[in-house]
Structure 1
């Protein structure tokens, strides 16, 4: 048997049609060792002093980490174009790559300077119709105060007839094209380590980001914080490692260790704990039907993004955000691998847990395949009173199509519930999976009672006969690949049940879902303690007479396979 622990590799995120390069890298969690970049601390240029035709310059990266300069001129200022009291500066950019690809995704945050060197703002918007040299610039004088935010970022900024005419007069863009308005340069979440099919196939749980894109692999990016400079690459991630969920844009300004970028939100979270990464651009990909997009590799985290607002993201270099360590060890056919990710935003802990299990399974199984597995897991953390807690469970899963897709939801749902409790932290999520090709399972075929030395099938008019104060001895009939097998059932009938009638339900664990309203660690402990394994049977006895009712439950098993199906029989008590 071989054991492999994943070394850090940067991954490229390429979002094919919407295209912003996003995502990744399995990276170390320690603080950066390289020197911090010198800050520029450039003063803002007031938007009120801009005039049509003013010359501008800017910085952005098309390859590697070194910013390249571009020129341009001001088309005009669109008052309240981004939001109430938040104008948009319209600029035509002159740069060979822009001539080929238009304002590209990943250019968000590229600083634009006035002739006197002061900072006008950051490129953050492009025309809706497709590749174009026209950029919408978020004013820098608004990028660090987050005032007058509307309820949500504008999906599209309309362009009036007069402004459309000015754009058409000074560029190759037609009046009709300009009239379609501007939109925020796309910032979809890129996820490395899992395929597009896996992302598209996730169930409709609230913790999965809609519109997320898959990432492709690439070489490790040997870049450090010294590349975090105005016009340089900037990435922000929810998680990094085997599974990196991130977006890549551009640095607008650096001052005294504070970094400002993007010119629009990452995910509009307000105060946040995204990890801050440098990145190395491979190239800008042209797209004939829309804006081009940057392809880049992420470096190790070098700081924290603490603010995510309408006017951009802000963070600091040095200290990294608190991270939850999420790992899965998968064993199959003599192969064992442990994969790990660091999650820094609590709202993403559940999705990172699920994707980590999927990514590691896909790497070890190297196929979408039927099978079964046993998974044991442990969650550790700190309760709201400062005390430590630990939750653990083991379960069995089976699928006749894709074992990988079925194994991760139960654990991820619990992580989601815990991560939403105020004052509670999730420090580690550790799971171990042992996978088999055998996808067979049991199905509850019937219930029998022994009478006169024979086992009598119940149902179809035949009831279970019980005596108050004694054990009701039955057996479940399970249909499996080798034929029928039997599992003894025994449940105590209370002495007070004399003369009652009711029903006995036998339900396979594969047909149940263990959960509940988890609002505290104590409730989570109670839910876990009462969880039914998929290879167990839940026996429920319900009796009544007039207004008197009796309810009893018992768990039988585990069996050696997952059990599906259910049977109910009538019960009469003497």
Structure 2
């Protein structure tokens, strides 16, 4: 076990954590700043001085927030086992929980100490063949070194001599040991959405993250149930998160060392993203789940951000308690008949704003409607933020109808808008608020006929009967909309451009048949706002006249007021210009 001096060092770190808790609230609203790697607060034991048979002990959490001790014995050192110049220490560990499940996912970062209290390293790897008490340890000497971009080692080979050593000291056979060691996963889990739905999103949009899997290994806790910054301590839980709330995306490992406000953990990368900005999260472990086919895993709830992870490197993650990443609040409300549900997530990365929005929208629809089914919806979104320091607000809404899955039909226009804005240079979103009112109707209105008024009479125009107009004159039209309750006539006018000439045509189309090309070509917030101002809703009707000339296209259009249903279909007729 650790000596008195080692225990005193750990106690001092805990006291520093608790002292910070009182002042942390004053700085959590500030954007996180990158900090240089922390100087080793613990005394790192030199790898060169390691000997076979050394007795060690460590700290990790199996339940709640308080670390428990485990013991072990060093079996040897694999030279360059993790990467060129980064050795791996092999040890056989023991505790009641390790005896039950073996080295588990989420144990990554658990500090391992020598008998005199020096920090040997962090548990980071487990045997590939299945549950085992044999662990691969990342030396602490190198855990806060920023190595050049070498691929993180996912599997480490074990030669015959080391395999025999492991077999001689444990109940693992040499053949099993020869399968090597695999980096313990800190599963980047996404909770709050069904795995099949997440797969569906990923198939439809390439920008939806491929990292992480849907599941319930991590969740979010609030209020008195949440872990606190003081719980981020040597051997304690350490979370790294991209979002929290309804949609929680992150992983939980273990703190290797906390020195004042600086924190080092995991012993291997989270996503190997180098310089980064992730939420540094305290966490409360619920239990360790055993797995007969592989390493067991920790199930935990994340608390609120306590700081920022600024480095995600080969030998671990580094961060600081204090300032947290800028949060984007993503709120959603969906109603369906008498049912109404709300959801709130906090995105900690601009790159994840659209992912969180799409996942939350789909998940909230599923729990509110409680089925994959047809229907209609009036959906809307309000976004606030800044562009080059100037505040902006964007409001948008539309009506949707689906014959199969209304939840999926309505989300993409809003999620795509968030994705575009989040990737614009100089743009920082602050809030994303979505609403949806769903019903069972799949009724639509269809553009069935177009007529033009000429000399007091209505004339049906189509491919055989052209429309007639003069430059600068207003064409008087009416469109027959066929609907579930019969036909209605929609009056419209459209002015023929003064420069009209050559071949032209008149087109009347339902809004669901239109495409806002300008929106998807926008490069600034102003261009987005201009494109949305001219956007045609799915429940509107657009009448347009277009002429092709040598110098390009001459065009004019008018758009109706919103109708009670989505409008489909289109009608086109040649347009003859008379001067």
TM-score (norm 1): 0.85
Q: Displacement, 1:457?
A: 5.5
Asked if 1:178 corresponds to 2:177, the answer is: yes
CA distance in 2, matches of 1:218, 1:491: 55
SS of aligned partner of 1:229: coil
Aligned to 1:374: 378
1:327 alignment partner, SS class: strand
> More deviation in 279-288 or 365-374?
365-374
Matched with 1:215 is 216
On the 8 A contact 2:380/2:396 being kept in 1, the answer is yes
**Cα deviation, residue 513, structure 1:** 4.7
Deviation per CA, 1:95-122: give whole Å up to 9, x if none: 3322332221111111112232211211
- 1:426-445 aligned within 5 A: 426-445=429-448
Corresponding residue for residue 320 of structure 1: 324
| Aligned residue among 477, 480, 485 for 1:482 | 485
Q: Structure 1 residue 391 and structure 2 residue 390: aligned?
A: no
Equivalence for 2:334: 330
SS of the equivalent of 2:155 reads: coil
Deviation track 1:465-518 (CA, whole Å, cap 9, x = no partner) reads: 4444433344444443334444334322234334x2233344433244543234
Counterpart in 1 of 2:191?
192
Matched residue SS, 1:188: coil
Give the superposed CA RMSD.
2.9
Number of equivalent positions = 536
Contact 1:330–1:337 at 8 Å: present in 2 too? yes
Q: 1:36 maps to which residue?
A: none
| SS of aligned partner of 2:241 | strand
1:226 matched to 2:230? The reply is: yes
1:70-81 pair list within 5 angstroms: 70-81=70-81
**Are the aligned partners of 1:40 and 1:254 in contact in 2 as well (CA < 8 Å)?**
no
Instruction: From the superposition, tell whether residues 242 and 218 of structure 1 become closer, same or farther in structure 2 (CA, over 3 Å).
Output: closer
- In 1, are the aligned partners of 2:497 and 2:555 still within 8 Å (CA)? no
For residues 190-249 of structure 1, give each alpha carbon's deviation from its aligned partner in whole angstroms, at most 9, with x where no partner exists: 223222233222132414344421338797634322222211111122112222212111
Cα distance between partner residues in 1 of 2:152 and 2:554:
56
Deviations 1:131-175 (A, max 9, x none): 22222222211111222331x423433444444444444433344
* Aligned equivalents of 1:546, 1:42: Cα separation in 2: 76
Q: Residues 459-478 of structure 1: matches in 2 within 5 Å?
A: 459=463, 461-478=464-481
In the aligned structure 1, how far is the partner of 2:24 from the partner of 2:321? 9
Structure with more contact order per residue of length (Cα contacts < 8 Å, sep ≥ 6): 1
Q: What SS is found at the alignment partner of 1:187?
A: coil
- In structure 1, what is the equivalent of residue 344 of structure 2? 340
- Does the 8 Å CA contact 1:124/1:135 hold for their aligned counterparts? yes
1:410 to 405, 413, 416: 413
Matched with 1:508 is 510
Q: C-alpha separation between the residues in 1 aligned to 2:523 and 2:458?
A: 50
Deviation at 1:293, TM superposition (A): 0.9
Report the Cα distance in structure 2 between the residues aligned to 1:568 and 1:164, rounded to whole angstroms: 77
The counterpart of 1:525, out of the listed 525, 529, 540, is 529
CA distance in 1, matches of 2:435, 2:348: 22
Distance 1:520-1:468 versus aligned 2 partners, 3 A rule: closer
TM-score normalised by length of structure 2: 0.84
- Aligned partners of 2:330 and 2:221: how far apart in 1? 23
Is the 8 Å Cα contact of residues 220 and 303 (structure 2) preserved in structure 1?
Answer: no
- Rounded to whole Å, the distance in 1 between the matches of 2:520 and 2:538 is 17
CA 1:115–1:566: 2 relative to 1, 3 Å: farther
Contact kept? 1:400, 1:440, Cα under 8 Å: no
Do structure 1's residue 133 and structure 2's residue 133 form an aligned pair? yes
Cα distance in 1 for residues equivalent to 2:339 and 2:194? 21
State the alpha-carbon separation in 1 of the partners of residues 166 and 572 from structure 2.
73
Q: Please say which of residues 520-529 and 469-478 is displaced more in the overlay.
A: 469-478
The range that moved more, 250-259 or 65-74, is: 65-74
Distance 1:524 1:181, change over 3 A: farther
Alignment partner, residue 46 of structure 2: 46
Identify which range, 520-529 or 107-116, moves more after superposition.
520-529
- Counterpart CA distance in 2 for 1:365 and 1:549 is 46
Q: Indicate the residue corresponding to 2:107 in structure 1.
A: 107
Contact kept, 8 Å, 1:418 with 1:518, in 2: the verdict is no
Distance 1:450 1:347, change over 3 A: same
Task: Give CA-to-partner distance per residue, 1:300-334, whole Å, 9 cap, x none.
Answer: 33222222222222222233322111112333324
Contact 2:220–2:302 under 8 Å retained in 1: no
Stretches of structure 2 that go unaligned for 5 or more consecutive residues are 1-22, 27-38
Q: Which residue number in structure 1 is paired with residue 273 of structure 2?
A: 269
Cα contact 2:268–2:314 (8 A) shared by 1: yes
The structure-2 alpha-carbon separation of the partners of 1:94 and 1:565, relative to structure 1 and needing over 3 Å to count, comes to farther
Alpha-carbon distance between aligned partners in 2 of 1:479 and 1:160, rounded to the nearest angstrom: 76
Structure 1 counterpart of 2:5 = none
Tell me which residue corresponds to 1:3.
none
Match of 2:500 among 482, 497, 501: 497
State the distance in 2 between where 1:55 and 1:555 align.
79
For 2:10, the equivalent position in structure 1 comes to: none
The verdict on how the C-alpha distance between 1:238 and 1:65 changes in structure 2, with shifts beyond 3 A counting, is: same
Query: More helix per residue: 1 or 2?
Result: 2
Partner of 1:251: 255
412-421 or 513-522, which moves further after superposition?
513-522
Taking a change above 3 Å as real, the CA distance of residues 74 and 501 of structure 1, as seen in their structure-2 partners, is same
Question: Which residue number in structure 2 is paired with residue 10 of structure 1?
Answer: none
Residues 329 and 337, structure 1, Cα contact 8 Å, conserved in 2:
yes
Can you list the C-alpha shifts for 1:367-424, whole angstroms capped at 9, x where unaligned?
A: 434322222322111222x221111112112223332222222222222222223332
